[in-house]
Structure 1
Amino acid sequence: MPIPVESFFIDRTSSVPLQVQLQRQIITGVTEGRLRPGDALPSSRRMAAHLGVARVTVVQAYAELAATDYLDSLPRSGHRISDRIERRIDPPAVAPGVQHFDWQRKIDGRFARSARTDRVTDWRQYRFPFVYGQVDPELVDHAAWRDCAVRALGRREFASLTADLYNEDDPELIDYIARHILPRRGIRARPAEILLTLGAQNGLWMAAEVLLGRGGRCAVEDPCYPGLREILAQTRAEVVALPVDAHGLPPEAIPAGVAAIFTTASHQCPTSSTMPLDRRRALLDCASRQGFAVIEDDYEFEMCFAGAPSPALKAMDVAGAVIYVGSFSKSVFPGLRMGYMVADPAFIAEARALRGLVMRHPPGMLQRTLAHFLSLGHYDAQMNRMRRIYAERRAVMAQAITENGLIRANGGAGGSSFWMSLEAGKDSRILAQALRAQGVLIEPGTPFFAREQDGAGFYRLAYSSIAAPLIEEGVARIRAALT
């Protein structure tokens, strides 16, 4: 690729000759890996004009670098970085007499301390990746998404994509969410009640900032989504962890004085249990009496394999206390990072202002591409395909779990994973470490609990990222590691 001419400069106050300064910059760029084999240098004429030096100065610098194998000189193609020089990636040296800036005195590390360290970024390198939140690329309709992106880049729509929307969202996407996505959850909402987010995580963060940024008290499920625990660790709020049972969060356990509760009523994270209707009504009644907001993370409502899903809490909410958080990460693909919030207009207005301070709005290109993907029927087609394939994988995994004598911690029929338990005395962290050497990835239960030791006897097996023919052998390897 061409190297921008702006990458080079000279210091006219230095005693180092101009030709040598240019040579040193190119050599440093090569050895540090910033300039890579095949990269094209600016022409000598253009470089001379940019630096304000005689062209012969640049010609001589290039010639000496070519003679020492840093550059290749190609007929009619100028000069390119050679592949004959070994690169090293070293931090830039601090000049003599200059004290290195002490960042440890400027930061307190609270964000790094709360970040998860259990994720495996190279999960595709493992043959049996039972990891949650990732997707088998074969299930994503690449051709359809590409077609929608091309449509969004068309001349007729390009002007709107290049504009700053300030705090607003793509009206076509908002309209489709309001008329087609939300009614499937029993939710009726006007545009003023909908806000786009960069995924569910971003929505949960905005809810926490608006409701708890000045402190207060909130309640979460235990176990719960680790990302929520990371978010709440940055607020000044007191966090009360409420143990869940086979039906999710028990409303009678909610203490007085909380400003908000966070729940995954449809598919409890990570147990996948579903909160029954009578408990949902009791939760909403409790919110009305005590005056707390309910943040409903409905991250995976599309994945239900036991009849029609129950209506969302938001659909049953007549008082307007529920903030509904949805996401396209599981139904389109995780890398899209697009979601939405549905709540009272007063909350949405405040959350919109907060979003505007941080990022204005999600990228217009992604918004319009997603709008086409939804409106042209590609979303429904992909969801139907995913449900069918996930149902097949779920059946294969359920049978493999039974045949290998593994223990399921609950009988939930939703989501794209199984919540598993271990025999007394075994630790899922040790099991996960042993399985990695055999190409098997599982999720230990410890990050999901307020007290990590409470999760040592649990682990999660997901099937969204592993093909059905590999499931049986992967589960068999888990059984072998336990014996």
Structure 2
Amino acid sequence: MTIPAEAFFLDRSSDTPLQAQLRRQIIAGVLEGRFRAGEKLPSSRRLAQHLGVARVTVAQAFAELVATDYLVSRDRAGHFISDGIAPLPLPTPTPAPPGGFDWPRLLGARFSQTERTDRVPDWRRFRFPFVYGQADPALVDHAAWRDCAVRALGRREFIPLTGDLYSEDDPELVDYIARHILPRRGIRARSDEILLTLGAQNGLWLAAQVLLGPGRRVAVEDPCYPGLRPILAATGALLLPQPVDAEGLAPGTLPRGLTAVFTTASHHSPTNTAMPEPRRRALLARAAAEGFAIVEDDYEFEMSFAGAASPALKARDADGAVIHVGSFSKSVFPGLRLGYMVADPRVIREARALRTLVLRHPPGMLQRTLAHYLSLGHYDAQMNRMRAAYAERRAAMEAAIAALGLTPAGQGGGSSFWMAMPAGRASAPLAQELRLHDVLIEPGAPFFARPEDGAGFYRLAYSSIPAERIPEGIARIAAALRA
């Protein structure tokens, strides 16, 4: 790696000679660890041109640093950071002095206080990671994805991708979603009814922002996806948590005067319950009669292990009341962060305008690469691999849970099991104990509006753990519960 010339500057108002300033900057970079052994310095000609000094000034600075072992010189290659000088240890951070600028007063910690603390960023180091939403790289065709990226980088396609799409999306990706992805959910949509998003999280945020505000009332399932409540709360709307039962959200118990209802009808998060047809029809009828919107998070539609999946709520939406939010994060890989919103063109126009204010559009390179991945059949091949692998893992987990006497609390398909703790036991201490035994589980508290209501539940997912490890991981959970 070559250190850019722009990393250096000279202060001509200083009494320190220019050559000495340059030497000190290079020495400081080495000692602070910013410049690392083996990295190449800019050529003396390039650096002199950037700094506006004579080339001999740079050459003399380099020569002195070679003599003191900070640099090494290689014939016809240039100057490189030496490995003879070790960086200094990082100093211990000192607490901020009293006084100073009062950022807490201005910021109010409105958003940082919603950060989740139950996530484990280094989950891969655990041998039994029963964590939801993470990918198994072995199920992703790396060569196919790389080939699609190379296609997008071809000269014919790369030139338009270098431009700013303003508020628009890749027409090839939108077309494929309209003609192939949505019909699998029973949805028919035109291009002006589709907006690309940075995953489902971004789609839910856009829907909340265009629908809600102070004084408006929104119903949300309880328990629900933990990232949803902070999104809704940030709008200033009144959140009305609605308990779910064995059939999901109950439309008949919804309060009056709602602006919107947020639901995961395909597979309820986190219990995996699928909303039956009578409730779907009742929810759509109430939305049409009372004028509230339905925001449908298409949670794990593709992963149905409890019979044929029902069409999406949007598929039965004769009145246009449903905003459908989908994502490729679970079906391709989470790091992709691409999804879509399907809604009435007037909703899409508002959401597109808001998206333009924040990020213009998702990266064009990613959009076109995904378009190739879909259209060349790699997506369908990956879905077949994932379904086969997940079916094997689900069978292994189901058998282990039954054999060891653990208690499922949910039903249906999806890539996880919703579990109940023994009476009087809480899942958070269990999760902490299991980490010592190389096992990760997800406690139930973050899923509930009142965390204490989730103390007796936990979630076990199998998307990122091989089938052969599942029985031992479940056995460790059972042993911890017995202990």
TM-score w.r.t. structure 1 length? 0.96
Counterpart AA for 1:63: A
Partner of 1:394: 394
- Alignment of 1:424 onto 2:423: yes
When structure 1 is superposed on structure 2, of 210-219 and 60-69 the one drifting more is 60-69
Question: Aligned-pair distance for 1:157?
Answer: 1.2
Partner of 1:263: 263
2:422 counterpart SS class = coil
Partner of 1:30: 30
When structure 1 is superposed on structure 2, of 4-13 and 156-165 the one drifting more is 156-165
Partner of 2:202: 202
RMSD: 1.8
From the superposition, tell whether residues 320 and 91 of structure 1 become closer, same or farther in structure 2 (CA, over 3 Å): farther
Partner of 1:84: 84
CA contact (8 A) 1:445 1:456 kept: yes
Question: Aligned-pair distance for 1:91?
Answer: 8.4
CA contact (8 A) 1:225 1:269 kept: yes
Question: Aligned-pair distance for 1:26?
Answer: 1.5
Counterpart CA distance in 2 for 1:43 and 1:370 is: 40
CA contact (8 A) 2:32 2:87 kept: yes
Partner of 1:385: 385
Partner of 1:332: 332
From the superposition, tell whether residues 88 and 288 of structure 1 become closer, same or farther in structure 2 (CA, over 3 Å): farther
2:85 counterpart SS class = coil
Residue segments in structure 1 that go unaligned for 5+ positions in a row? none
Question: Aligned-pair distance for 1:215?
Answer: 4.6
- Deviation beyond 4 Å, 4+ runs, structure 1: 88-94, 99-102
Counterpart CA distance in 2 for 1:297 and 1:138 is: 27
Question: Aligned-pair distance for 1:306?
Answer: 2.5
From the superposition, tell whether residues 88 and 321 of structure 1 become closer, same or farther in structure 2 (CA, over 3 Å): farther
Question: Aligned-pair distance for 1:30?
Answer: 2.1
2:227 counterpart SS class = helix
Question: Aligned-pair distance for 1:305?
Answer: 1.4
Counterpart CA distance in 2 for 1:104 and 1:214 is: 23
Counterpart CA distance in 2 for 1:150 and 1:429 is: 46
2:28 counterpart SS class = helix
Partner of 2:465: 466
String of CA shifts for 1:319-339, please: whole Å, max 9, x gaps: 110000000011111110000
Question: Aligned-pair distance for 1:93?
Answer: 11
Counterpart AA for 2:311: P
Question: Aligned-pair distance for 1:308?
Answer: 1.6
**What percentage of residue pairs aligned between the two structures are identical?**
71
TM-score w.r.t. structure 2 length? 0.96
Counterpart CA distance in 2 for 1:91 and 1:167 is: 46
Counterpart CA distance in 2 for 1:109 and 1:91 is: 28
1:49 counterpart SS class = helix
Counterpart CA distance in 1 for 2:311 and 2:454 is: 30
CA contact (8 A) 2:323 2:343 kept: yes
Partner of 1:41: 41
Partner of 1:70: 70
1:149 counterpart SS class = helix
Counterpart CA distance in 2 for 1:106 and 1:58 is: 46
Listed as ranges, the matches of 1:237-276 within 5 Å are 237-276=237-276
Partner of 1:150: 150
Question: Aligned-pair distance for 1:385?
Answer: 1.1
When structure 1 is superposed on structure 2, of 12-21 and 194-203 the one drifting more is 12-21
CA contact (8 A) 1:215 1:235 kept: no
When structure 1 is superposed on structure 2, of 250-259 and 122-131 the one drifting more is 250-259
CA contact (8 A) 2:199 2:340 kept: yes
1:226 counterpart SS class = coil
Question: Aligned-pair distance for 1:211?
Answer: 0.6
1:244 counterpart SS class = strand
When structure 1 is superposed on structure 2, of 7-16 and 22-31 the one drifting more is 22-31
CA contact (8 A) 1:204 1:325 kept: yes
Counterpart CA distance in 1 for 2:431 and 2:87 is: 36
2:111 counterpart SS class = helix
Counterpart AA for 1:437: L
Partner of 2:446: 447
Partner of 2:407: 407
Partner of 1:310: 310
1:305 counterpart SS class = coil
Question: Aligned-pair distance for 1:59?
Answer: 2.2
